[in-house]
Amino acid sequence: MNKISTIINREYLTRVSKKSFIIMTILAPILMAALIVVPTILMSSQEMDYKKIAVIEENTDLFRGSLKNTKTLEFVYLDDVNVNDLKKTFEEAGYYGILYISSELVNTPNAIQLISKKQPPIADLQYMENSLEKEIEKQKLMAYNIENLDEIMKNVESNVSIQTQKIDDSGQIKDTSTGIAMALAYIGGFLMYMLVFMFGSQVMRGVIEEKTSRVVEVIVSSVKPVQLMMGKIIGIALVGLTQFLIWILLTVAIVGVVKSTVFKDRKITEIAQTVPQNLMDEDQPATAQQQIEQANPQLSEFSRMFESAMNQPWGLIIFSFIFYFITGYLLYASVFAAIGSAVDNETETQQFMLPVTIPIILALMVAMGTMQNPESSLSFWCSIIPLTSPIVMIARIPFGVPAWQIILSMALMVVTFIAFVWMAAKIYRTGILMYGKKTSWKEMWKWLRYSG
């Protein structure tokens, strides 16, 4: 036992003291954050792209004023302009495109065209379509000569946003968000995939290093090969857990900082901005809270999301993540160790890697599908079968999984990883001392049955 801990110690310390580990540990959360933040920034900066669109109605005047200007879209109604003439010159005139509405519109809804040099963003198109649709609906309704139509329309108008709530066995209702669950499933599944792969192949490289440098011969004259293998696997697992814990702490710290600074700042500035407006507009008294929500619906949504994120079963998620990381990693790392022991150099690993990679990749793909449909039978089976369950189950848990499924999956996982470690140890024991022979699957099968 003492010797295993000596080996674990070496494996752990040599890796943790490497520069690449330190850089990776600090940089990864920042990169992750960048991965989330940068697209958001890019998207919001894109929205700032100001577009002027020329609207030409042929022989009608139905839509004048029905397309309201937004922050990024300005509609200019042009009269007495020929479409074909403008087609050549609209860019020079500073227009992004021409919205051409033909006179046949009410009868044939296809008669609207947006002419532009670039593919217009989907959001802008949707905005225009919605506005025009509403206007056409209104026009069509007006054709029925209903009294007080305007008032009725105002009454009818409504805005729907579904709030999801999850009810647990004790009848407690919690606000949840499918978006948050999806994000967690995505991050959890992907992280698990990365960790298992990254640290699994580190084990393999370590074994190959020891075999090619013949260190292994010196060590197995002092300790049993299984001890060396387990020492290496556990040492690297601890490296992984260390990294994972640092990531959690960093994330908590970053979230904490974001929550305390950004939120506070924004609230204050929002209030500061809205109060003067309010003073000028004394007819509409409103509470400060409402003001904030009115002034910035995004902000209130953000805090709602925050709340629902807090309502996720964090204890279960973190526990099962660590459980599946340890067992899944042990399973794959021992296979990787066996492969490493069977080859003479890293290029020879290819033929053995493929069958090991397939279940991992499959698991990742199923996990991604799980986010769309957590209850599909494919997701269910893959979250029970041990080779794929670490990744798929982690992706399923944020959506809620019956306890018996988790227990079954975990039990199968434990049994399987013990079996895999046992088999891998047998292959490893023979493999590390074999040199210069091309190893085949058949050969490895034979090693499994060697006694001494």
Partner 1 sequence: MALFEARNVTKQFGSLYALNNVSISVPEQSIFGLLGPNGAGKTTLIRIINQITGPDSGELFLNGRKLMPEDVMSIGYLPEERGLYKKMKVGEQALYFAQLKGLSKAEAMRRLKYWFRKLDMIDWWGKKVEELSKGMQQKVQFVTTILHEPKLLILDEPFSGFDPVNTNVIKNEILFLREKGATVILSTHNMGSVEELCDNIALINKAKTILEGRVDDIRMQWAGDEYEIVFDGDVTINGNGDINVLDRQFENNRSTIRFKAGHERNTNQILSEAVRCGNVISFNPALPSMNDIFIRVVETRN
Residues that bind partner 1 (CB under 8 A): 2-3, 6-7, 10, 14, 209-210, 213-223, 433, 451-452
Q: How far is the CB of 4 from partner 1 (least distance, A)?
A: 10
Two tokens, residue 156:
């009818």
Q: How far is the CB of 258 from partner 1 (least distance, A)?
A: 39
Between 144 and 435, whose beta carbon lies closer to partner 1? 435
Rounded Cα–Cα distance for residues 330 and 335 (Å): 9
Least Å from the CB of residue 425 to partner 1: 15
17 is written with which tokens? 């003291």
Q: With contact defined as beta carbons under 8 Å apart, do 428 and 338 qualify? A: yes
Among 194, 231, 152, CA closest to 35: 194
Question: Based on CB atoms, which residue is closest to partner 1, 57 or 210?
Answer: 210
First to last CA, the chain: 22
Give 10 or 259: the residue with its C-beta nearer to partner 1: 10
State the nearest-atom distance from the C-beta of 292 to partner 1, in Å: 57
Q: What is the Cα–Cα distance from 412 to 404, expressed in whole angstroms? A: 12
Q: Kindly state the helix (H) or strand (E) to which residue 57 belongs, with its residue range.
A: strand 51-57
Three-class secondary structure assignment of 406-423: HHHHHHHHHHHHHHHHHH
Q: Please report how close the Cβ of residue 213 comes to partner 1 at its closest, in angstroms.
A: 5
The least distance separating partner 1 from the CB of residue 215, rounded to whole angstroms, comes to 4
CA-wise closest residue to 238 among 28, 7, 397, 416: 7
3-class DSSP state of 1: coil
Q: By C-beta, is 73 or 338 nearer to partner 1?
A: 338
Neighbours of 430 (CB within 10 A): 20
Rounded (5°) CA angle 234-240-242: 105
Question: Of the two residues 220 and 365, which places its CB atom closer to partner 1 in the complex?
Answer: 220
Compare residues 404 and 435 and give the one whose CB is closer to partner 1.
435
CB of 452 to partner 1, least distance (A): 3
Q: Which residues are paired to 76 by β-bridges? A: 54
**Which residues are CB-neighbours of 424 under 8 A, at least 6 positions away?**
229, 334, 335, 337, 338
Whole-angstrom CA distances from 242 to 61, 228, 313 are 68, 21, 23
Q: Give me the least distance between CB of 431 and partner 1, in Å please.
A: 13
Report in angstroms the alpha-carbon separations of 86 from 114, 211, 305: 13, 75, 47
Q: Which is nearer to partner 1, 19 or 88 (CB)?
A: 19
Closest distance to partner 1 from the beta carbon of 335 (Å): 23
Q: Helix or strand or coil: residue 158?
A: coil
The set of residues, in sequence order, having a beta carbon less than 8 Å from that of 277 and lying 6+ positions away, is none
Nearer to partner 1, 10 or 264 (CB): 10
Q: Which is nearer to partner 1, 90 or 447 (CB)?
A: 447
Pairing state of beta strands 173-176 and 51-57?
A: unpaired
Which pair of structure tokens corresponds to residue 194? 């990365």
CB-CB contact of 433 with 228 (8 Å): no
For partner 1, which is the closer residue by CB, 213 or 284? Answer: 213
Q: Give the shortest CB-203-to-partner 1 separation in angstroms.
A: 16
